[in-house]
Structure 1
Amino acid sequence: MRPASEAEKARLNDTFVDLCRIVSPSGDEAACAERVERELRGMGLEVIRDEAGNLLARVKGRGERTVLLCAHLDTVPAHAPIEPVLVDGAWENEHDGILGADNKAAVAMLLEIARRCSIESSPVGVELVFTVQEEVGLLGAKRFDASQLQAEFGYVFDHATPIGEIVTSSPTLYRIEAHFLGKSAHAGLRPEEGHSAILAAAHAAAHMPHGRIGPQTTANLGFFHGGVESTNVVPERARLLAEVRSVDPDKAEEVLAGVIDALHDGAAHGACDVDVITEKQVVGYRQKPSSPAVVAAEAALTAHGYEPKRIATGGASDANVFEAAGIPCVNVANGTQNNHEPTERVPQYALEAMLDIGFTLLQEAAAA
């Protein structure tokens, strides 16, 4: 497919700016979804919105193969107004807050790809999925009915690193919640009759795995709360939230077991009870270098002068959910920078380069 025209690049930038101005934190994506749906229907495409708020649109292709292109509509909370401005060739927020390039740079790109394909056709069929609540546990993708898709493989564009990087492995992630129950007592009169849930939880926290466990494995204690706002009561309750993630699923389970053992040891140390709840929030994946999704992505990047680099990430994306649903999916870096931070930005050249790469990706996907 030919490179993007100046008109397409200009419209891409305008659409991106308009989307960023629509504040859409997780759970409040309706206005952004309505804008995207209106754009798609204006191209003559049918749009399906599911109960979660996800959008699905299809573009017919010249060949039999269909691929999935996905971006998410939500952002992390915006603590300042969003007014995109160009600074030294990059889009930034004029105010001290996020820009929303994560993931509206990808949303704008997919809309422009859909526009051309709806007019000139595409070498492959395209299924466009725009998800909600990605930033709070991939909840939109998890509620999306992937069985309705015909895509052989797919792509999300949700990695805030330089263009050229391709996420070929992503971790399995466990969430751990622990509730400690001790016994309250007057701390000045009868402390020996109490059992401190805070001390039990603190013992557990001090002995559970933390930080970088290995090259592809981490553990983190993210929340610790207990007691009441009074110093004269032996605290009866405490609550911990932690996570374990690893690209190696066996290692993830091993570290998870270590966390659970520490929680129970802490409870025993403090003569308390503990209720431990674990949830596998994300299923990890590894892509083979020879898979059509990877081959096509690398060919598209190479065609535009970028050196492909396969990477493992400690983060998760909607790609994990589609992988678990049986659709091989690759997360492609889109050149955005400092996502989730007030300094978030995206160079204009990266925004426009990803549009050209997206067009070429469809061509390479047809041949992979």
Structure 2
Amino acid sequence: MAWKQNIIEDFKQLVSFDSISFHERKSADWLFARLKSMGFSVEEDQAGSHYGGDTGNIFAVLDGELDGDPVIFCAHMDVVEPGSGKKSVLEKDGTIHSAGDTVLGADDISGILEILYGVQLVLDSGKPHKKIEILFTIGEELYVKGSDVFDYSKVTAKQAYVLDLSGAVGTAARRAPSIISVRAEIKGKAAHAGFEPERGIHAIAVAAEAVTRLSMGHVDEDTTFNIGTINGGTATNIVPDSCVVTGEIRSYDHSKALEYVKNTEKIFAEEADKAGATAEVTHQVHLVAYETPVESRTVKDFLKACEKTRLPGTLTETFGGSDNNSFAKHGIEGLVLSCGMYQAHSTNEYTKIKDLYDGAELIRTLIEL
């Protein structure tokens, strides 16, 4: 069928666009025109202005002839570094991979095109359909910055399908964690390390004592904690008067994540007090955990669509964030669907033609339910 060749050609074209976070202009222009040609009403918001970017989120609506409840489909336009000058290579076995010096961009070009072609298959069939909403976001790779500032009053759908999960089409994640970054700044006192070290207050030593008291890795069944960076001092012959420690907490239970923040604050304060130093611990909540119930309509519709398209219909969870965290925060029930991206965020990233085909068929079926 012609569409199967067209989706490959469109994949190659979108891959060729540079679309680093907050610089998704070429992809957005292409998608805006494409959606308009399909009959959608399309608008671009001012999300980019919040972050000094050149692009906004693309929101599109296609009214339908049926009165069924609308759904919203979502994928993100940005890619991670190294993502400039991307080139795709199509192998005879149907694998598409990068040329090797950049990511491929299947994260999330695969999801974008599966949405577009799923809708196009519905339109080509001539069958009446319910209202369709689409959101293509910016800055997802930087803690869902685009969807975080989107105006959800525009959305009428109560069900969301976000195409942004690794693996073969037919799997959906219904649970994702809170992600909170923490930063501790310790202030000590500088002194000459050779002549009078006892007059100093060693900020790095204070940080080290605090870090050794923190549990890291899988700290419980729902939660991970990691200290990722420690920076301090100015020279080897000076007792360091400052040190900055940064880390991250992830948990399927938001209240637990906040408790680990409080514990971190307590430990750093105690160690600083012992040494006569000060510690300021701050945190930023990037994402809030959610869980979509197995008995929800969104899950039931996904399983029904997978059965119709002979896909596995596997339910799982993810320990990464996505735009679905934003939907959940605004009361929209959703799932994150696998869209055939593999080894994402690496120069070994690839996808498979079969996944593009399967993903489009799955979206068509979800619309037609």
- For the residues of structure 2 that align with 1:348 and 1:253, how far apart are their CA atoms? 42
> In the alignment, what sits opposite 2:142?
136
**1:337 partnered with 2:332:** no
1:113 to partner: Cα distance: 3.0
Whole-Å separation in 2 of the counterparts to 1:117 and 1:148? 23
Give the match's secondary structure for 1:135.
coil
Which residue of structure 1 aligns with residue 193 of structure 2?
Answer: 187
Residue identity opposite 2:70 in structure 1: T
User: Which of 320, 323, 328 in structure 2 is aligned with 1:318?
Assistant: 323
Are 2:313 and 1:308 equivalent residues in the alignment? yes
1:69 match: 73
Unaligned runs of 5+ in 2: 48-55
Alignment of 1:172-321 (within 5 A): 172-228=178-234, 230-321=235-326
| Alpha-carbon distance in structure 2 between the residues aligned to 1:260 and 1:306 | 47
Distance 1:56 1:112 in 2: 17
- Check whether the contact 2:17–2:85 (CA below 8 A) recurs between aligned residues: no
Deviations 1:239-269 (A, max 9, x none): 1111111112232233333322222233234
Residues 248 and 315 of structure 1, relative CA distance in 2, 3 Å threshold: same
Q: Give the secondary-structure state (helix, strand or coil) at the position aligned to 1:144.
A: coil
Q: Does 1:59 align with 2:62?
A: yes
For 1:126, which of 132, 147, 156 is the aligned residue? 132
Say if 1:346 and 1:300 are closer, same or farther in 2 by CA, change over 3 A: same
Secondary structure of 1:184 counterpart = coil
1-structure distance, mates of 2:140, 2:37: 26
Change (3 A) 1:117 1:164: closer
- Say whether the 8 Å CA contact 1:282–1:316 is kept in structure 2: yes
C-alpha change, 1:109 and 1:132, in structure 2 (3 Å) is same
Partner of 1:96: 101
In 2, Cα distance between the equivalents of 1:46 and 1:123? 16
Q: CA deviation at 1:214?
A: 2.7
- Whether contact under 8 Å (2:20, 2:83) holds in the other structure is no
**SS of the residue 1:136 aligns to:** coil
CA contact (8 A) 1:338 1:345 kept: yes
Which residue does the alignment assign to 2:362? Answer: 357
Question: What's 2:163 paired with?
Answer: 157
Q: Find the counterpart in structure 2 of residue 25 from structure 1.
A: 20
Distance 1:122 1:173, change over 3 A: farther
Which deviates further from its counterpart, 121-130 or 280-289? 121-130
CA contact (8 A) 1:122 1:362 kept: no
Query: Secondary structure of the residue that 1:106 maps to in structure 2?
Result: helix
State the match for 1:39 in structure 2.
34
CA gap of 1:181–1:347, structure 2 versus 1, over 3 A, is: same
Judge conservation of contact 1:46–1:58 (CA < 8 Å) in 2. Answer: yes
Matched to 1:152, the amino acid is K
CA distance in 1 between partners of 2:302 and 2:196 (Å): 67
How far the C-alpha of 1:47 sits from its partner, in A, is 1.4
Report what 2:53 is aligned to. Answer: none
SS of equivalent residue, structure 2 residue 246: strand
Structure 1 SS opposite 2:244: strand
CA deviation string 1:49-89 (max 9, x = no partner): 11011000111122221111000000111266311111332
Assess if the C-alpha contact under 8 Å between 1:169 and 1:286 holds in 2. yes
Q: CA deviation at 1:295?
A: 0.7
C-alpha distance 209-275 of structure 1, shift in aligned 2 (>3 A): same
Pick aligned residue for 2:43 from 24, 48, 54: 48
Cα deviation for residue 307 of structure 1 reads 2.1
Tell me how far apart the structure 2 counterparts of residues 122 and 292 of structure 1 sit (CA, whole Å): 21
Deviations 1:100-158 (A, max 9, x none): 00001011122223434556365221111000000001000001011111012111010
Q: Where does structure 1 lack aligned partners over 5 or more consecutive residues? A: 1-5
How far 1:34 sits from its partner (Å)?
A: 1.1
Question: Cα deviations across residues 223-247 of structure 1 (Å, max 9, x unaligned)?
Answer: 221112x211111111111111111
Contact 1:199-1:270 within 8 A present in 2 as well: no
Q: Name the SS for the 1:335 alignment partner.
A: strand
Query: How many positions carry a matched residue from both structures?
Result: 358
Contact 2:324 2:334 in 1 (8 A): yes
Compared with structure 1, are the counterparts of its residues 114 and 189 closer, same or farther at alpha carbon in structure 2 (3 Å cutoff)? same
